[in-house]
Every structure is written in structure tokens, then in C-alpha cells.
């Protein structure tokens, strides 16, 4: 059985968020389909399963703006597992999604290719409350394993349960307008405040999440598969973390952000990107010995074998935008003590398997911090064919990096290639019209990205997704990660996220049977051909 996983091992894996798994209850979860996906990874010779952040989300399912940097998402709890534990009845598991339009091939299967988050969250929350009531009535809170779980996670679990209880009592309004004073979760204060049931419900859901998560992780390890998590650099203002530790964030006297996160204007956006998370008060973090960060990373490495750190560039400098701004145009750079932070993490936690998400304007200082820490950066094949894309071309890769065909923020490979083809056709038609007026000796337009792709890959583009999978696996990069949408050759209808948009994101799902044995064999053959097949399996 593989018991350790290293990013320096030549290996590969797939990117798929658990909500994108098939299943009968509106979204994927940690149950049987998760284990079946692990089986697929093992059959395909893959070492890694990479996910997006797994914290509790709002109604839109956005994983990068969760309510806690420490808690698990109750949406991922397998209801079938609760039924097997006699906490739900089989009749209560029925989730009718037949109202959704479906093709003939899809009818009769469990699940849809999109997550309807409001409907799914309402259904799952109702079933979790029924399970909680039976758990409490059956003496579940007297279980020794629950007591051990609460004690082992006391630093974040009690405060998070209290945050959820207070939020529920205030009809899910922001914590900045709460009138009720803070309540200590002991000495009968919760009962007196009418918060005991909601507090207990959160303890129950986090306990069930933990049990199912660690069962899945044990199963993955038994098949030689490691899990890669994701740490967003910032946390949402409407989160337990900001409510509990306002002194660690740049807030005014009313608890509102004085400065927020974003990136400045560039070639892709005239007004920049306004993310809106509160900025950190780094002097306060340094004064505590980065205690919150140490706890956060410790928690993540209790759940995952490796972690991708989102927006690694922000640990050198961050673009701080006034809290009330509507765009990111008028901000300022602030220095961030990233070198001190990661030195502290290494001293407190030991060597860490971290992927530095260094996409964007990689400054010399950010590259130096990444390399000093020994973290692999990211290379994206879709960026390799842009003008100036040499950094992302595989012949320039060091071994110490992680190559992706695309990320959750990219178009799918098929969608991206089709867009390049359409742009090439439009440009060629325009050139024909302008050719007659060109002076003798005048150079024509530069080669299109579409033609650069075909020339670099030596392909017709008929199976462009497999061309890029092959290119990633053949590259010098120690680690290659393929989004499942690219493995299956899906178009942009399967895109996970379109940055700077608010609707339609995070919803894509696999349909049952899409990951076939034939796909596994083909991927395994390529994995073996390019020396990425793990040497041992459980």
C-alpha cells in the first residue's frame, strides 16, 4: 500500500471536484461514486486526484468563497451512507430530477449533467436534519468517537458551530448586523440563547463529513491514489474566520472591509478584477507567529496528501482596493511577508507538498520565493500558443513543475481549440480582403494561434484533447494533471468556471458511464509510455 505521496515523483492525475461526480441526490458526494472514481484512477495508472476547495459554500456552490477555511462542506455528505447507518430511510433518499430535460441516452440514469444548487442544497439539508434528529434521539452525542472528534478539532469546530447557529438565528443575514452578543458554547449559554439545536446540528454534519472523508482517503490510499486539495489565499468576508478574528483582517470599526482583494488592469481587463475578499493585516499575523495560517495548513494536510496554494503571487505582494470600489482600477500594492510565513510553516509543520499557483504576472520576487521554498509552479498548455507563450511550452519546462492542459478557470481543451479555429477562419477571410492593397515586400500578419497549435503538435486536431493529454504526459514536468472534461473531449458546455461572471458556474457534472474502461486503458497506455505509471499499487 502506498503510504506517502511526493510531487517529485514522475506521475499524473485528474482534476475533478466531488460535486461533479454522478449520483442520485443532485450533486456528487463522498459516497460510492467517489470510490468508483478512485477505482478509475487506479485502473488508468493515475497517482493523483485533485479537487477544488471543499469548504462549506453559499447557495451558488462557489468553492472559493466559503463560510470557513477549516470546515467541510455538508453538501458532500453521502446520504446513502447515512441510510446504511439507519439515520435515513430508503424512501427519504428519493430525489426526483426527472423534470430536467434529458436525452434518450440519459433517461433512466441517476443524475443530471448540471447541479441545481438551490434545489439540491434544500433537499440535502432537509435530509441531514432528519438524520441529525435520529442521531441525537439515539444517543449519538454520547459516542466516544464523536467526543474525540470534537476535542481534536476544538480550535475551529466550536467557533464554527456557534457561527452557524448565530447566522441561522439571524435569518442568514451578514454577521456585521447581528444584534445578539457572542455566546460561549458551554455553561448552558447555548440553551439559554436558543442555539443548542443548531449548534449540535453543525457538530453532527462536521462529524459525518469527517467520517466519510477519512473513509474515502483510506480507500484512495489503498489504491495508491493521493488527494490534492486547494487553499484559496483569501477568505470570504461572510465567514467564521473573519467574524472570529476581525483583528487579522483590514476592517473598519463596523466590521466592513477597508481594503479588498483583486488584481489591477491588464491586457485582459481594462478595469482589473475585483475579488472583494478582505485584505489581511499582516502585522497582526506576524505578531501571532502566523498562528492562524499554521492552523489552516495543518488542517489541510490532515485532509490531503498535497495542496495547491491559490494565487501564490499574493504572498509577495497583494493589490489592495478600497472597500467600496466597484472596480479594481484604483488600488495599491502592499507587501506581504510570504517568506516569513512559509519559513514558519516549514519550521512548525515540516516539509510540505505544495503546488504554487503562480499564474499571472510572475514577478522575479514571486519566482524567487517559489524556488526558495522548493514548490513546483504551474504550466498551462492552453497558454503555450499565445503570443509570448514560451514559458508554457513543454520544451522549456523544468522537472519541478506541474503541467495542466487547462484549469477550472479555463475553457475546455475542445472549446478552446474550436474558438482558435473560428478566429483563424475569420482572420483568413479578413486577410483575403486586405491582400490586394498590401505593398510589395510588406509582411503579412503573424501566424495564428490555431496554426501554431497544429505545427507544434504535428496534428490535424481531430482529437485535440488527446493530443494535449499526450503532450502533458510526455513533458519533463514531474506532475501532469488533466481535467476530466479534457480527458473526455467535452466542449465548453462542460466548463467549470468563467471568471468575473456570477451565474452558471461550478455546475458541471459527469453522467454515469462516461468514464469507460476504454478511456482508462487509453490513458494508462499513455501514462506508461511516458514513464508516469506508479511502481506499486495496493
Map out the domains of the chain as residue ranges.
245-375
Exposure b/e, 226-253, CB count within 10 A at least 16 = b = bbbbbbbbbbbbbbbbbbbbeebbbbee
Percent of the chain with pLDDT over 90: 84
Q: What is the pLDDT of residues 28-57, one digit of tens each?
A: 999 999 999 999 999 999 999 999 999 999
What does the pLDDT read at residue 181? 66
What does the pLDDT read at residue 363? 95
Q: Give the range among 191-200, 225-234, 488-497 with minimum mean pLDDT.
A: 191-200
Closest to 400 in 3D by CA, of 356, 360, 364? 356
Based on the residue annotation, tell me whether 409 is a catalytic residue of this protein. yes
What does the pLDDT read at residue 184? 66
Q: What is the pLDDT of residues 110-129, one digit of tens each?
A: 456 899 999 999 999 999 99
Q: Rounded distance, CA 78 to CA 54, Å?
A: 14
Whether 346 and 352 have beta carbons less than 8 Å apart is answered as yes
The active-site residue, picked from 230, 250, 305, 357, is: 357
3-state secondary structure (DSSP) of residue 98:
coil
Whether 204 and 127 have beta carbons less than 8 Å apart is answered as no
Q: Give the range among 25-39, 264-278, 287-301 with minimum mean pLDDT.
A: 264-278
pTM for this structure? 0.93
Average pLDDT on 263-287 reads: 91
3-state secondary structure (DSSP) of residue 17:
coil
Based on the residue annotation, tell me whether 357 is a catalytic residue of this protein. yes
Average pLDDT on 259-278 reads: 88
The active-site residue, picked from 113, 241, 310, 486, is: 310
The active-site residue, picked from 60, 97, 340, 409, is: 409
pLDDT band at 454, cuts 50/70/90?
A: very high
Average pLDDT on 503-510 reads: 95
Based on the residue annotation, tell me whether 467 is a catalytic residue of this protein. no
What does the pLDDT read at residue 445? 55
H/E element, 307: strand 306-309
Q: What is the pLDDT of residues 133-154, one digit of tens each?
A: 999 999 999 999 999 999 999 9
Q: What is the pLDDT of residues 388-443, one digit of tens each?
A: 899 999 999 999 999 999 999 999 999 999 999 999 999 888 777 665 555 544 44
pLDDT at 444 over 60: no
Amino acid at each position: 500500500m502506498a503510504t506517502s505521496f511526493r510531487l517529485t515523483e514522475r506521475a499524473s492525475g485528474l482534476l475533478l471536484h466531488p460535486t461533479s461526480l454522478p449520483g442520485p441526490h443532485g450533486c456528487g458526494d463522498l459516497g460510492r461514486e467517489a470510490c468508483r472514481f478512485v477505482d478509475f484512477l487506479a485502473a488508468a495508472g493515475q497517482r493523483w486526484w485533485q479537487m477544488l476547495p471543499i469548504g462549506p459554500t453559499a447557495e451558488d456552490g462557489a468553492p472559493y468563497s466559503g463560510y470557513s477555511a477549516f470546515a467541510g462542506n455538508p453538501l458532500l455528505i453521502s446520504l446513502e451512507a447515512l441510510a446504511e447507518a439507519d439515520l435515513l430511510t430508503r424512501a427519504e433518499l428519493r430525489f426526483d430530477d426527472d423534470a430536467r430535460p434529458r436525452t434518450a441516452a440519459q433517461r433512466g440514469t441517476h443524475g443530471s449533467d448540471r447541479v441545481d444548487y438551490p434545489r439540491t442544497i434544500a433537499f440535502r439539508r432537509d435530509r441531514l436534519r432528519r438524520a441529525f434528529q435520529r442521531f441525537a434521539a439515539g444517543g449519538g452525542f454520547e459516542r466516544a468517537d464523536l467526543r474525540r472528534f470534537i476535542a481534536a478539532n476544538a480550535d475551529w469546530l466550536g467557533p464554527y458551530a456557534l457561527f452557524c447557529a448565530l447566522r441561522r438565528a439571524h435569518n442568514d443575514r451578514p454577521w456585521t448586523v447581528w444584534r445578539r452578543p457572542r455566546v460561549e458554547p458551554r455553561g448552558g449559554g447555548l440553551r439559554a440563547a436558543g442555539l443548542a439545536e443548531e449548534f449540535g446540528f453543525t457538530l453532527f454534519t462536521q462529524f459525518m463529513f469527517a467520517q466519510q472523508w477519512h473513509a474515502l482517503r483510506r480507500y484512495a490510499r489503498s489504491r495508491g491514489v493521493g488527494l490534492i486539495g486547494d487553499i484559496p489565499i483569501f477568505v470570504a468576508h461572510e465567514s467564521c474566520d473573519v467574524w472570529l478574528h476581525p483583528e487579522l483582517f483590514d476592517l473598519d470599526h463596523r466590521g466592513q472591509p477597508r481594503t479588498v482583494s483583486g488584481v489591477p488592469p491588464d491586457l485582459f481587463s481594462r478595469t482589473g478584477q475585483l475579488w472583494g475578499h478582505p485584505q489581511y493585516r499582516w502585522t497582526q499575523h506576524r505578531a501571532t507567529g502566523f498562528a492562524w495560517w499554521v492552523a489552516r495548513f495543518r488542517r489541510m494536510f490532515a485532509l490531503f496528501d498535497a495542496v495547491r496554494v491559490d494565487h501564490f503571487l499574493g504572498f509577495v505582494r497583494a493589490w489592495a482596493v478600497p472597500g467600496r470600489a466597484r472596480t479594481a482600477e484604483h488600488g495599491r500594492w502592499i507587501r506581504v511577508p510570504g517568506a516569513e510565513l512559509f519559513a514558519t510553516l516549514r519550521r512548525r509543520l515540516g516539509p510540505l507538498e505544495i503546488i504554487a499557483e503562480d499564474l499571472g504576472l510572475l514577478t522575479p520576487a514571486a519566482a524567487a520565493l517559489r524556488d526558495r521554498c522548493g514548490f513546483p509552479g504551474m504550466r498551462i498548455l492552453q497558454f503555450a500558443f499565445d503570443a509570448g507563450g514560451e514559458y508554457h511550452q513543454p520544451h522549456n519546462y523544468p522537472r519541478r513543475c506541474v503541467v495542466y492542459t487547462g484549469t477550472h478557470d479555463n475553457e475546455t481543451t475542445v472549446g478552446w481549440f474550436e474558438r482558435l479555429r473560428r478566429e483563424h477562419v475569420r482572420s483568413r477571410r479578413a486577410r483575403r480582403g486586405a491582400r490586394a492593397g498590401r505593398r510589395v515586400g510588406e509582411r503579412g500578419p503573424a501566424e495564428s494561434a490555431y496554426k501554431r497549435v497544429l505545427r507544434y503538435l504535428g496534428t490535424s486536431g481531430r482529437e485535440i484533447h488527446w493530443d494535449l493529454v499526450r503532450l502533458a504526459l510526455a513533458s519533463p514536468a514531474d506532475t501532469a494533471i488533466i481535467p476530466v472534461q479534457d480527458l473526455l473531449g467535452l466542449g465548453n458546455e462542460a466548463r467549470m468556471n468563467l471568471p468575473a461572471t456570477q451565474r452558471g458556474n461550478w455546475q458541471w457534472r459527469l453522467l454515469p458511464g462516461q468514464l469507460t474502461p476504454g478511456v482508462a486503458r487509453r490513458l494508462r497506455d499513455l501514462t506508461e509510455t511516458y514513464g508516469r505509471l506508479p511502481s506499486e499499487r495496493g
